[in-house]
């Protein structure tokens, strides 16, 4: 008797969801905050408390971020708006910020359950798929981070799931709801565009161009409504919008990496080696996590080489979606940020499962052994990453330094605002007051800011020289570890 028979599926689905939430909570509680989380939390907090979507923690004068203290345009607005509503319900804090991502991550794996069940015509297959998603280290890591990626993935996947579940009842309603969810995905992060492609592909796959033509007004309506609202918001301060939105093509990460979103297009093989190394293999620590990813990759290779699988129409659909996601991030996300794997890993895992089913010719004992091996690898990867607290070991010693010097003017990475407050007590300015004229009593840098300074010596030598001279002449180093350096202003 199958353990995944229909009457037990809700139990297994609940178990998978509970395991996912508990593991995410563990990571959320143990992982140090990062600057991204503080930037977006600051804007949402200001909206919640003051009704203004401005980011006041970042020094923006003289940079492409100028005006961000009034309007936060470098980030799409839906995540920030939803955050402010979340804070009104649960209060403000790092854990509250991360629980929003965890809730979205839970919704994402449930949506993928519906997508896989409909496309593969097997709810047992979909259930095993969700179990693997629920314990995947990378999905757990990125779903417990306070960035917008988890919400973007949820909205996009929910759009696909709603279309597949509703299209048999009412095509116009299915299209309207699905495209509304995908539009919200795009209003969360530009990566939402890949889900628009997926949805149009599903419409074409199941109904052809004729069905798309019949429902094009229903498809277009959500984008017109949300696009109009977005445009009116941008027009509140068009110079700031164009400067921030254009500047974020490379973003702050590009300033220290010396790369932009489209850098891959100008590299040999379009940066394929960097794509595989930086985004995939370096996306998690430890051999177990890398082996898990390699096994999924091996399953994909098997799938490509087996003509029998390629002839399966529904598997071919998932494969086309996976290839589209891979190409999109390979060519158009030159910063090689691994958090975008949230949008690709589920497809890779699903295709690897299809390959595994073919390899073991549906023999349950061998499939069970293969799944057990994957579970062991995932458990080892989880343990390796949960027990690796190097990040916190670097972060926590800075906290008493800040607490002992309350009342001082502090310039530091934004993540420390979670410790000393967001009410103007801290400003994030890696240019050390070059444009603002602010001379802090305490100046703290993290590793990426020091990388930025090295990059600035080539791109902005005058600025870099000014910062270095100010540090040499007016500050003395009082603490250093692997991640942070603390300078105190000389009296």
pLDDT in tens, 202-246: 999 998 888 888 899 999 999 999 999 999 999 999 999 999 998
Is 43 within a domain? no
Which H/E stretch holds residue 485?
strand 485-489
> Looking at 342, 368, 387, which one is the last position of a domain?
387
Is 59 within a domain? no
> Looking at 338, 372, 387, which one is the last position of a domain?
387
Is 68 within a domain? no
Residue with tokens 């949402």: 44
Token pair, residue 483, equals: 């991640």
**In terms of domains, do 456 and 366 share one?**
no
Cα(488)–Cα(491) distance, integer angstroms: 9
**In terms of domains, do 210 and 130 share one?**
yes
**In terms of domains, do 97 and 232 share one?**
yes
**In terms of domains, do 349 and 418 share one?**
no
β-pairing, 442-445 vs 475-480, is unpaired
Residues 280-294 pLDDT 10s: 887 777 778 888 888
- Identify which of 428, 429, 425, 439 has the alpha carbon closest to the alpha carbon of residue 470: 439
> Looking at 356, 387, 418, which one is the last position of a domain?
387
**In terms of domains, do 139 and 191 share one?**
yes
* Contact indicator for 432, 485 with CB cutoff of 8 Å: no
**In terms of domains, do 368 and 470 share one?**
no
Is 430 within a domain? yes
Is 124 within a domain? yes
For every residue of 215-256, DSSP letters joined together read THHHHHHHHHHHHHHHHHHHGGGHHHHHHHHHHTTTHHHHHH
What pLDDT is stored for residue 371 in this prediction?
A: 74
Is 367 within a domain? yes
Cα(357)–Cα(351) distance, integer angstroms: 10
What pLDDT is stored for residue 198 in this prediction?
A: 97
Cα(197)–Cα(460) distance, integer angstroms: 40
Domain extent for 472: 393-489
**Regions of the chain where pLDDT drops below 70:** 1-6, 250-260, 268-269, 307-311, 360-364, 366-367, 387-391
What pLDDT is stored for residue 95 in this prediction?
A: 96
Is 60 within a domain? no
Beta-carbon count within 10 A of 85 CB: 13
**In terms of domains, do 326 and 452 share one?**
no
**In terms of domains, do 374 and 397 share one?**
no
Q: Which residues, 6+ apart, have CB-to-CB distance to 54 below 8 Å?
A: 43, 46, 68, 69, 70, 71, 72
**In terms of domains, do 17 and 100 share one?**
yes
Is 49 within a domain? no
Question: Can you give the length of the chain in residues?
Answer: 491
**In terms of domains, do 309 and 419 share one?**
no
For every residue of 402-459, DSSP letters joined together read HHHTTTS-EE--GGGHHHH-SSSSEEB-TTTTTTT----SEEEE-HHHHHHHHHHHHH
**In terms of domains, do 416 and 374 share one?**
no
Q: Which residues, 6+ apart, have CB-to-CB distance to 365 below 8 Å?
A: none
The whole-angstrom distance between residue 294's C-alpha and the CA centroid of its chain comes to: 21
With 0-12 CB in 10 A as exposed, 13-18 as middle and 19+ as buried, what is 149?
Answer: buried
| Number of domains forming the structure of the chain | 2
Token pair, residue 150, equals: 């988890």
What pLDDT is stored for residue 260 in this prediction?
A: 67
Phi, psi of 428 (to 5 degrees): -95, 105
- The rounded radius of gyration (Å) of the Cα atoms in the chain is 24
Cα(150)–Cα(386) distance, integer angstroms: 20
**In terms of domains, do 320 and 410 share one?**
no
Q: Positive or negative CA dihedral for 274, 275, 279, 282?
A: negative
């Amino acid at each position: 008797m199958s353990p995944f028979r229909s009457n037990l599926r809700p139990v297994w689905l609940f178990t998978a969801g509970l395991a996912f939430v508990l593991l995410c909570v563990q990571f959320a509680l143990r992982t140090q905050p990062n600057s991204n989380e503080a930037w977006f939390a600051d804007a949402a907090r200001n909206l919640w408390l003051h009704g203004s979507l401005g980011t006041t923690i970042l020094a923006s004068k003289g940079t492409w971020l100028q005006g961000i203290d009034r309007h936060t345009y470098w980030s799409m607005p839906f995540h920030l708006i939803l955050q402010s509503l979340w804070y009104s319900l649960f209060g403000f804090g790092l854990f509250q910020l991360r629980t929003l991502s965890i809730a979205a991550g839970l919704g994402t794996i449930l949506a993928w359950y519906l997508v896989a069940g409909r496309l593969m015509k097997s709810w047992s297959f979909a259930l095993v798929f969700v179990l693997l998603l629920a314990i995947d280290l990378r999905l757990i890591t990125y779903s417990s981070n306070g960035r917008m990626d988890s919400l973007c993935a949820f909205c996009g996947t929910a759009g696909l799931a709603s279309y597949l579940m509703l299209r048999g009842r009412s095509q116009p309603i299915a299209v309207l709801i699905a495209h509304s969810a995908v539009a919200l995905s795009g209003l969360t992060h530009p990566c939402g565009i890949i889900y628009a492609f997926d949805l149009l592909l599903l419409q074409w796959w199941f109904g052809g161009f004729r069905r798309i033509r019949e429902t094009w007004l229903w498809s277009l309506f959500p984008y017109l409504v949300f696009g109009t609202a977005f445009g009116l918001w941008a027009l509140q301060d068009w110079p700031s919008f164009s400067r921030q939105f254009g500047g974020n093509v490379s973003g702050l990460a590009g300033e220290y990496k010396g790369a932009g979103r489209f850098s891959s297009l100008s590299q040999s093989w379009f940066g394929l080696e960097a794509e595989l190394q930086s985004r995939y293999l370096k996306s998690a620590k430890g051999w177990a996590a890398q082996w898990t990813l390699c096994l999924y990759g091996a399953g994909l290779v098997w799938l490509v080489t087996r003509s029998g699988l390629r002839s399966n129409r529904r598997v071919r659909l998932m494969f086309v979606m996976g290839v589209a996601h891979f190409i999109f991030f390979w060519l158009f996300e030159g910063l090689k940020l691994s958090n975008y794997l949230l949008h690709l890993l589920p497809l890779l895992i699903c295709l690897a499962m299809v390959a595994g089913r073919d390899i073991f010719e549906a023999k349950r004992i061998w499939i069970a052994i293969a799944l057990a091996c994957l579970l062991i690898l995932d458990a080892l990867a989880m343990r390796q990453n949960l027990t690796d607290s190097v990040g916190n070991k670097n972060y926590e010693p800075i906290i008493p330094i800040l607490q002992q010097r309350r009342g001082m003017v502090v310039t530091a990475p934004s993540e420390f605002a979670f410790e000393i407050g967001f009410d103007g007590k801290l400003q994030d300015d890696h240019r050390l007051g070059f444009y603002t004229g602010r001379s802090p009593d305490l100046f703290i840098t993290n590793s990426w800011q020091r990388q930025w300074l090295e990059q600035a010596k080539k791109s902005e030598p005058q600025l870099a020289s000014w910062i270095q001279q100010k540090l040499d002449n007016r500050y003395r180093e009082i603490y250093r570890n692997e991640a942070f350096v603390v300078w105190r202003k000389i009296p």
